[in-house]
Structure 1
Amino acid sequence: MIGRLTGTLAHFRTDSIIIDVMGVGYLVHVSHTARNHLYAAHLNDPQARHTLFIETYVREDQFTLFGFLTEEEQTLFGLLTTVQGVGNKMALNLLGQMPPAQLAHAILAQDKASLQRAQGVGARLAERICSELKNKIMHLEGIMHAPATPTDPPAPTPKRTSKKPPTPTPITPFIADDAIAALTQLGYDRSRAYEAAHKAMRNHEGAELSVELLVKEALRLL
């Protein structure tokens, strides 16, 4: 069984990523939040190595991997799937709706409305999640204070150089088009991608942003 994977990010899909581990590409299903975090990190450094905690599901005709940024997220995924009516996809939808700590607090507070914001979660299922997991989550102290995403390591101190720093590229229609194309490749509807990209441009009017930075800002709005 696979418990953890560390490698570079090779490809992004709507609800999954492909992580390259020593030349082997593993298709891993992740939450919406995890995918956006990994994509932003990939834009910042395409060659960076990332670690995913893995849940492996094996059936007669299927071998499926689910990946998580933190062990707390993985633990909560496991708890969610013990509830009748919550499958793997539904659990990822819930984790993509809010960070693990916030989701745990919502369950403890019996905040069914917050749970229902996740796709596919109705009133009855939200009530079942709260009633079945409340006591279990109370004993998981780590989840209550877990960060939403792993803490990034401090950036290395840049070496002194006589070369002038590169000049940022001003926002142009071409940069906006490239950013929209990148967002649609991630699975976002083109109209939503267009709206987010142009709102990010308005928020940074007068600033100079690259395609990568514009995509990052747009992802924050989606």
Structure 2
Amino acid sequence: MMEYIKGMLSELESDYLVVESGGIGYRLFCGNPFSYQHLLHQEVKVFVHLYVREDVMMLYGFLTKGERELFRKLLDVSGIGPKGALSVISAAPPEQIISAIQKEDVSFLTKFPGIGKKTAQRIILEMKDKLKNMPFSNGIEPIKTENQYPISSVPLLDEAVEALLALGYTQGEVDRVILHLREEDKAYSSIDEVLKRALKELARG
């Protein structure tokens, strides 16, 4: 089965990217397509997972093997499908997610979109013993404290996007500023701080 696709990054959309290889454009669904913005029209290497269920066949793309492995382990958790697994790995670095699971940090996991308390508990129960051989299992990065989370956290990004669109900014303007904030990857304690930073960036034009 396919391990990765190497080719030209030809297109970016809100939930997928297109990599052209051998005259074929592969649609790869991923959590943060715009993290590839700086590589548009350049050669990229994307690790893939082929998801097949009855009449559904979809390719999912990942920056690293570690992300893909974590995605696959999340798929093994009862009640979690590709969309849910993708939202989890898109919300924080794999090291932090694994750390949260190993420390049974339910409050951290429930910050992810679509993950309630029961689902978080099920993730911990079904995954904790399966993470020992993951590349991040030793020397993993500690979870941020004092309610500080990186801007790449999906909940913060989702709230910021909705708020900016409600203020009348166009989707293009919002995408540009969110990409800029994601690249900065600073820690914020509230959505208000994120919006202040975003508005300041938008004011620059």
Give the alignment's TM-score, normalised by structure 1. Answer: 0.64
| SS, match of residue 63 in structure 1 | strand
Is the 8 Å Cα contact of residues 8 and 42 (structure 2) preserved in structure 1? yes
Please state how far the C-alpha of 1:89 moved relative to its aligned partner: 0.6
CA RMSD of aligned residues (A): 3.2
Unaligned runs of 5+ in 1: 148-175, 187-193, 206-213, 215-222
Identity %: 28
Judge conservation of contact 2:98–2:136 (CA < 8 Å) in 1. Answer: no
Post-superposition CA distance 1:181-204 (Å, at most 9, x none) = 7549x9xxxxxxx976532256xx
* Alignment correspondent of 1:198: 199
Aligned mate of 1:104, from 79, 98, 102 = 98
Q: In the alignment, which residue of structure 1 is the partner of 2:64?
A: 70
- Determine the structure 1 residue equivalent to 2:184: none
Q: How do 1:104-123 and structure 2 match up within 5 A?
A: 104-123=98-117
Alignment partners' CA distance in 2, 1:133 and 1:90: 15
Return closer, same or farther for 1:3/1:181 CA change in 2, 3 Å cut-off: same
Report SS of the residue matched to 2:76.
coil
Deviation string 1:7-65 (CA, Å, 9 cap, x unpaired) is 12111122111111133111111113xx23212x23xxx33211111110223422200
SS in 1 for 2:41: coil
Change (3 A) 1:117 1:50: same
Letter in 2 for 1:65: L
Whether 2:20 is the aligned partner of 1:17: answer: no
Kindly tell me: are residues 9 and 144 of structure 1, through their superposed partners in 2, closer, same or farther at Cα, counting changes over 3 Å? farther
Q: 2:50 aligns with which of 56, 62, 70?
A: 56
One-letter amino acid matched to 1:24: I
Q: How many residues in Structure 1 have an aligned counterpart in Structure 2?
A: 165
Contact 2:77–2:123 (CA<8 Å) still a contact in 1?
yes
Unaligned ranges ≥5, structure 2: 142-168, 180-194
CA gap of 1:141–1:47, structure 2 versus 1, over 3 A, is closer
Residues 60-110 of structure 1, C-alpha deviation per residue, up to 9 Å, x if partnerless?
A: 422200111100111111111110011111000000110111111011111
Secondary structure at the counterpart of residue 119 of structure 1: coil
The structure with the larger Rg is: 1
TM-score by length of structure 2 reads 0.69
> Contact conserved, 1:100 with 1:146, CA < 8 A, in 2?
no
The answer to whether 1:91 aligns with 2:85 is yes
Q: Which residue of 1 aligns with 2:8?
A: 8
Counterpart residue number, 1:38:
36
Amino acid at match of 1:26: Y
Q: CA deviation at 1:178?
A: 9.7
CA distance in 2, matches of 1:181, 1:113: 29
Q: Distance in 2 between matches of 1:119 and 1:93?
A: 6
Cα drift, residue 6 of structure 1 = 0.8
